[in-house]
Chains A and B, each alone.
Chain A
Amino acid sequence: MRDLFRLTAHEARDLLSKREASARELTQAVLDRIEAVDGKVRAYLTVSAEEALHQAGAADERIARGEAGPLTGVPIAIKDNMCTRGLRTTCGSKMLESFVPPYDAHVIERLREAGAVIVGKTNMDEFAMGSSVEHSAFFPTHNPWAPDRVPGGSSGGSAAAVAADETVLALGSDTGGSVRQPASLCGVVGMKPTYGRVSRYGLVAFGSSLDQIGPLTKDVRDCALLMNAICGHDARDATSAPVETPDFTGALSGDVRGLRIGVANEYLPDDVDPAVRAVAEAAIARLESLGATIVRGISLPSTKYALACYYIIAPSEASANLARYDGVRYGYSYQDGASMWENLEKTREHGFGDEVKRRIMLGTYALSAGYYDAYYLKALKVRTLIRQEFDAAFERCDVLFGLVSPTPAFPIGAKVDDPFAMYLNDVFTLPINIAGVPGVSVPAGFVEGLPVGIQLIGRPFDEMALLRAAHAFEQATDWHTQRPEL
């Protein structure tokens, strides 16, 4: 038998239901794996070993009673910006270094109901602002495929944990690519669902019109299983969509005949790294050979404005959301100032890192008197144009195809001092958040030993089409079965 920690969730489920392994054995195997390799990867900020084994014991009892669901007893890692009752939730920031939430996020409630085993909280860029985890206030995470390189971000801890088999499943959050980009750079599957598909209740807020929680998994079937568990309406999030959740595993037919896959020029530009482009072209050829109809020549010309649009909207929303960190109700608090105002300014000076300060200041500026119309309102109008172009593109195809990231994983330290160079990592992912449509990154090959993913983008609430195409592609390839040497 393979090492237990290497299993996918659906493989683990089969073993558990046949009683060939217990949930406690599986959880212990994952904890041992973390012990063995996390010194190199540093995916976790907090490992909750004792509580995880306790949850695994409860899962074993549930399995014995014949009441197990698809995720019962399956270990999962949670990005450290989702509130876990009684388990420290730092958001990668000094500001929340000792914050212990008094409640569970909606997705955590769902996972507990499903009987999943929460093994720990994963590293991330502070307040999810970044593309490399180098903006974590604690330490960087290393790409399991190349320890001198970044895992991507901001959900880089979750992606690295999945790639290194330090968990079976993981959750991340995606505001401008923060699930899909690290999934691509670590060679795992990562989905950003449609805006509104998953409740944001208990997710530390960054850009409230953009944020969405999504799965990071070893294969597409696991992605569908985790989507089944976390999606659905929640009245506590007023932007949670009142739509039915389909059984996402119903999309896993392996059949893409008749599916129209559009290749958008802006998402696979001519001037991109030829080796990365070759991976994408091979994936297109594979999908075509499986019977998909490839529609070339689709254009979304406003894509070139998406980066500026995003870096006005997301920081504006962040500047409002992060106003709550005042050192009064929770979090870091500077107490030695001469006045309440000095304490407030020093709390935010010492509690936030540089990237968070930059974005709060950008957003504050864009919303300030005299600049609101020129920046914020302008960006909201450009957002309309970007969204309209997606609507038009989806009249010609069912799924759009593109790259996730312009390059494979870059060296730690290469971009950390140049904020704008870092922002360019998200050029193919952030338009999807602006439009609110779903996207998924699927492993599609390697360039010089580093994973490269392809992105599939869908109509609002049509994750089924993405999973169908992703699954068929995965079944015809073996990229998702490759694992780094650790």
Chain B
Amino acid sequence: MSLSREEVLHIAHLARIGLDDEEVAKFQVQLSDILAHFELLNELDTDAVEPTAYPLPLESVMREDEVRPSLPVEDVLANAPLAEDGAFRVRAVLEE
């Protein structure tokens, strides 16, 4: 399993991580190396095996939908890089 430079850039784009050329080259080698080790799993026939997403046999956990106190807005916004009028401030998502 060997990743192309384009595949590394595609993955980085999906993950929204900017990479410079040097990082692309480094991750191309390292990720390919790690993925090669995953080939080992193909030795196992798992067609009849159910997947396990969580180790506990818990069903969906439900609770009553009650009104409860939440954190004070000013406490939460104290960590915000940009805030305005009690809200997080973000750049325009849609552009002209």
Q: List residues of chain A with CB under 8 Å of any chain B CB.
A: 99-100, 102-103, 195-196, 209, 235, 238-239, 241, 302, 304-305, 307-309, 311-312, 319, 323, 326-331, 333, 335, 339-346, 348-349, 352, 354, 357-358, 360-362, 364-365, 368, 375, 377-385, 387, 419-420, 423, 434-437, 460
Contact = CB atoms under 8 A, between A and B. Distances in A.
Contact of B51 (A333, A341, A377): A377
B13 to A, nearest CB: 8
Nearest to A364: B15
B37 A420 contact: yes
A354 B19 CA distance: 11
B50 A102 contact: no
Nearest to A101: B79
Nearest to B48: A381
A384 B95 contact: no
Contacts of A195: 54-56
A342 B91 CA distance: 11
Given A308-B41, A333-B82, A380-B51, A340 B93 contact: yes
B14 interface: yes
B46 A368 contact: no
Contacts, number: 163
Given A209-B55, A340-B91, A385-B44, A319 B15 contact: yes
A361 B12 contact: yes
A342 B17 CA distance: 10
Interface in B5-46: 8, 11-12, 14-19, 23, 26-27, 30-31, 33-35, 37-38, 40-44, 46
Contacts of B30: 358, 419
Interface of B: 3, 8, 11-12, 14-19, 23, 26-27, 30-31, 33-35, 37-38, 40-44, 46, 49-56, 58, 61, 63, 71-72, 75-76, 78-82, 88, 90-93, 95
A329 B52 contact: no
A352 B17 CA distance: 9
Contacts of B58: 196, 238-239, 241
B63 A360 contact: no
Contact of A357 (B17, B44, B46): B17
B88 A329 contact: yes
B17 A348 contact: yes
B45 to A, nearest CB: 10
A420 B52 contact: no
Contacts of B31: 358, 361-362, 365
5 contacts: A239-B61, A328-B80, A340-B92, A358-B27, A362-B35
A385 B45 CA distance: 11
Contacts of B11: 361, 364-365, 368
Contact of B41 (A99, A309, A423): A309
A99 to B, nearest CB: 6
A349 B18 contact: yes
Contacts of B51: 377, 380-381, 383-384
A358 B30 CA distance: 8
A308 B17 contact: no
Contacts of A330: 79-81
B88 A307 contact: no
Given A344-B16, A383-B51, A378 B41 contact: yes
B17 A102 contact: no
A309 B55 CA distance: 14
A305 B52 contact: no
B41 A382 contact: yes
B68 to A, nearest CB: 11
Contacts of A241: 56, 58
Contacts of B16: 323, 326, 341, 344-345, 348
A345 B79 contact: no
Nearest to A86: B75
B35 to A, nearest CB: 8
Contact of A102 (B3, B14, B71): B71
A102 B78 contact: yes
Contacts of A307: 37
Nearest to A345: B18
Nearest to B30: A419
Contacts of B42: 378
